[in-house]
Chains A and B, each alone.
Chain A
């Protein structure tokens, strides 16, 4: 008789997640199901709200990446009111956005996902956290991580009111001009930011890539999946977080779509399963073929490695070098190795830091011309940005009074929903045959979805760096046969 293994609770975006693994008679995993048990209903309750309130309301979808929602929302408002923000407003928004990308990606690397590598995937759990990272890279560096994040978020507060749920965006502009004094602070910060990003990449290089076991893990079959990829590119086909067309490449790296924001619904469709609240986006032209990979399946992936895969390169010189190094090390493009997500994230950190430098020197950055008030009758608008965790889509319709009548939100983590399910399944399948379920398996399943995170564990993480993971082996009647969980020492024990 087959058994069911439940992993619960895992942490995720807004609340809890749960993983069920269905096993055959030999204990090998046949199917893995990742459930999201919560819905807050933003798309419905924003109906009737004034369109201009949307950037502040929708930022409450996620308190870790509020800036991504805020910015997708305000871009949707630009379209909805038919106003193009003046160059200064665009510069302010881009500056704010790159500060956010910089600190959010770094948060993930040092506090959340990075400990797996810096401290080591097999290290004791109590060491796999920011404190363990500090031990490994040195106390001064640890302090620097906290300090640089602090300064970054202080600058965000200065520009956009506050880093958690900012108030910067208005249709056709921004609320506040950047002062020359702030520009000087940004210039000073950007130098440190570039240096820190380089330092972080070097640490990744020395600690992770130079270690054959870690590199093998990244390149391992356990974390490999051929899918389509989606991401935003600028006019030169380089990675862009704030604006540009959306490109989709197939598992061979060939461009199959390049679309304008307003056309997103022609390209993306969503599949519903009754056992979870998360929807499963897929490429409409290819179709939903279930939780399967390959060219025949419409499943696509977003987030750092997807962005690098779809683009021809990075927009800044230092990041471009790192981009080239990543692809030459892995040896293929697209890169299908899920764990390369961590590396791609750091390439983007450097790109964000370099962009902060460029923007801090832009003459328009401090111009008082921050509003375009030439509003058209409110109608419909789509706004897309690249959130840290992938392509983020806000689509609104409004009545002539500018009250929202319909909203559709395809958030970044949802874009990876099917792929996360499949990555977990693949890791579980590969690891489950004739093996005792131990700490290593818990850890490796955990790593399969942590690569996509932290929006799955958004909110969650992990000063101590532990995921609450419990495997329950159940029979068909839900009777618990065996439970495996971590004790306080981080060791897997049976209970």
Chain B
């Protein structure tokens, strides 16, 4: 048998995340066996026995690709992200939390003290007369215990390290993961800094798009629970906020197939601000002759920040004034 090229060395790591990005890898089902056979996994704390010290001992750029999911919320995550950057030829931000901050970045609408106070002091079930809250340094029976530094804000990965590619989704679908893996294995990659995936809006592929009228003149925006959504008609045409116009295509619209609107988890198309794009899309849909009338129609959007930037708060201008340098 001819000498084959060495398998690409792959690392996987997670920061502030839910584990859904790991689960989507398990959802490759039988294909995961092919992937495992095609690469050499050198670091995957969730699954394998390699330690930080193993990574530290590697030569710089010894890892071909590091897939990092999760936002950066504390000093430990920052440290490992930086370490993997140093040791890797390529870093891929895997999923929304790494790309845009994801759901954890909604915390950027609050501050660290209010988060900690709520969880450990104010909570209805908490009995904490001494008002103890988690501290970085503790002594228990004379021994030192430490916790990582909890940052004031949630950072997207590119705030911390140089990122080569981005994989969208909360989580990315198994199909998209395979596309990315194949692109990497075959070397057929888009320019550095690209999001791996289609660069058009979700509406362009949604099967309800044909029912979307050119002009809508909506008198009212409905909250999702206030209406029984027709399972075949464009949500926007029904007066329900669907993030489709401001969201990147590629997921095969599973939420819409579940008769629920897109909430924007595939993020914006290149160069767009998701919230700004959605605001302008909606502005063109509501009845707009009178300012008051338009404002009334928009009342159905009870939480614009959390709706338009649900997955992209760490990449938005909102809250960025408070953002410390991690």
Contacts and interface: CB of A to CB of B under 8 A. Distances in A.
B73 to A, nearest CB: 7
A299 to B, nearest CB: 14
A457 B259 contact: no
A395 B264 CA distance: 26
Contacts of A269: 125-127
A463 interface: yes
Contacts of A420: none
B14 interface: yes
A175 B229 contact: yes
Interface string B126-164: 111000111100101111110110100000000000000
Interface string A465-493: 01111100000101000000110101000
A11 B46 contact: yes
Contacts of A273: 132
Nearest to B36: A463
A45 B318 CA distance: 14
B39 to A, nearest CB: 13
A167 interface: yes
Interface stretch (A12-20, A195-203, A236-244, A251-259): A12-20
Contacts of A437: none
Given A175-B229, A281-B125, A463-B36, A14 B255 contact: no
B81 to A, nearest CB: 13
B18 A274 contact: no
B258 A459 contact: no
Contacts of B70: 15
Contacts, number: 275
A410 B125 contact: yes
B18 A459 contact: yes
Interface string A348-380: 000000000000000000000001010100000
Contacts of B255: 161-162, 167
B119 A402 contact: no
Interface string A39-67: 11101111111101100110011111010
Given A38-B74, A167-B258, A43 B22 contact: no
Interface in B27-71: 27, 29-30, 32, 36, 45-52, 70
Interface stretch (B189-197, B198-206, B207-215, B220-228): B220-228
B109 interface: yes
A35 B146 CA distance: 9
Interface in A155-170: 157, 159-168, 170
A447 B257 CA distance: 41
A108 B134 CA distance: 31
Interface string A247-266: 00000000000000000110
B125 A16 contact: no
Contacts of A164: 20, 23-24, 27, 171
A45 B254 contact: no
What bracket does the count of chain A residues touching chain B fall in?
Answer: 35 or more
B303 A403 contact: yes
A64 B134 contact: no
Nearest to A4: B143
Contacts of A57: 103, 106, 310
Interface stretch (A143-151, A384-392, A425-433): A143-151
Contact of B123 (A9, A177, A408): A408
Given A462-B47, A463-B32, A476 B143 contact: yes
Interface string A296-330: 00000000000000000000000000000000000
Nearest to B121: A272
A168 B229 CA distance: 13
A272 B16 contact: no
Interface stretch (B110-118, B279-287, B289-297): B110-118
Given A43-B118, A164-B27, A175-B260, A460 B22 contact: yes
Given A171-B225, A468-B51, A146 B119 contact: no
Interface of B: 14-24, 26-27, 29-30, 32, 36, 45-52, 70, 73-74, 76-77, 102-104, 106-107, 109-110, 114-116, 118-120, 123-128, 132-135, 138, 140-145, 147-148, 150, 170-171, 223-226, 228-229, 231, 254-255, 257-260, 263, 265, 302-303, 306-307, 310
Given A31-B141, A170-B225, 20 more contacts: A14-B17, A43-B118, A45-B107, A49-B303, A62-B18, A63-B24, A77-B225, A146-B29, A161-B257, A167-B260, A175-B229, A268-B125, A270-B127, A403-B303, A459-B22, A459-B46, A460-B22, A463-B47, A464-B47, A468-B45
Closest 9 CB pairs of A and B: A63-B20, A459-B19, A161-B258, A460-B46, A41-B115, A167-B260, A63-B18, A63-B19, A60-B103
9 contacts: A22-B141, A33-B145, A38-B74, A39-B115, A44-B107, A161-B258, A403-B302, A459-B20, A460-B47
Interface of A: 2, 4, 9, 11, 13-16, 20, 22, 30-31, 33, 35, 37-41, 43-50, 52-53, 56-57, 60-64, 66, 77, 81, 107, 111, 125, 143, 146-147, 149-150, 153, 157, 159-168, 170-172, 175-177, 264-265, 268-277, 279, 281, 284, 288, 371, 373, 375, 395, 401-403, 406, 408, 410, 457-464, 466-470, 476, 478, 485-486, 488, 490
